Structure 1
């Protein structure tokens, strides 16, 4: 992988983080839909994830675990991490967009933030905060995890609540999607 300093960029990576169930995908989709006709809209990055396309959640590119490993070895990913039992990869094409001056929006990982920030020093992390009771309710509504898995996710979310970065922006998503969606949209328009 090329060193971060060797990659010329003028666009900014907006790195959306928060616990599973906090509404990251919904907020990103809200902004993408509102900016669909804007030629200056940021690039909304699709991740490669080692889970089936029909598993729900974000619009991702499904990849098998073995193909994910091969892509990592071959250097196809600018960013790659593992979490929640899956592999996540972002193709190096993101560097072309950023280098051309386009901002990019990515559903990232809180645990991987230090590595992503090292590769993209201008990165802006956007933390989606959520009340634990609201998170529990949303996770249960998805129907993807057992009660024990939901409680483990809520505990993990609360244990990982502190995120440190000089450019951190926080958006609360405890209410209607339009509130958090409009706050995120305003942030993107301000770049």
Structure 2
């Protein structure tokens, strides 16, 4: 049995990663060959945000000490982990989709050499509008996020670009194509 592929979805905050991943999860719900991994995060669950597993700092430390994370990183004052269960899913031939960190991509590639990175992009105007609409950041924080998004440099290796300026279904269907078992087996990755 061929090993599955890890799909590592990245992009600036506000680019629509969570919405796109929800769209993909719904469209591929009946496909046993595609699994969406939940992140373990040291932040409370939000009603409209990512469907993650909320952990306290102590819970995160305990799971880290028990080697229960396949991948883990810190960003913006929070800690993120992906459970080791992804290794079982990959070994069974499933494609695994995860919400990753742009800064952690080189380490993720080192651990999973066949990783397929998907960068969700959005124009600066649309990104600013989305960040303001969610109401989490001040104008100064939004300006810093926009600047950070502008200076993101792709790391070595292939990165599929997924533009998400239009209707969700447009970028969502492209994501489904990238993730589906039939299409993924036909693609050539660098």
TM-score of the superposition, structure 1-length normalised? Answer: 0.91
Q: How does 1:1-191 map to 2 (within 5 A)?
A: 10-40=3-33, 42-54=34-46, 56-160=48-152, 162-189=153-180, 190-191=183-184
How many residues in Structure 1 have an aligned counterpart in Structure 2?
Answer: 182
Task: Measure, in 2, the Cα distance between the counterparts of 1:18 and 1:54.
Answer: 19
The runs of 5 or more residues in structure 2 that have no matched partner are 185-190
Shift of 1:55: 6.1
Task: Provide structure 1 residue ranges, at least 5 long, that are not aligned to the other structure.
Answer: 1-8
Does the Cα contact within 8 Å between 2:32 and 2:94 map onto a contact in 1?
A: no
Which 4+ stretches in 1 moved above 3 angstroms? none
Q: Deviations over 1:137-157 (max 9, x none)?
A: 001111111111111111111
Root-mean-square deviation (CA), in Å? 1.5
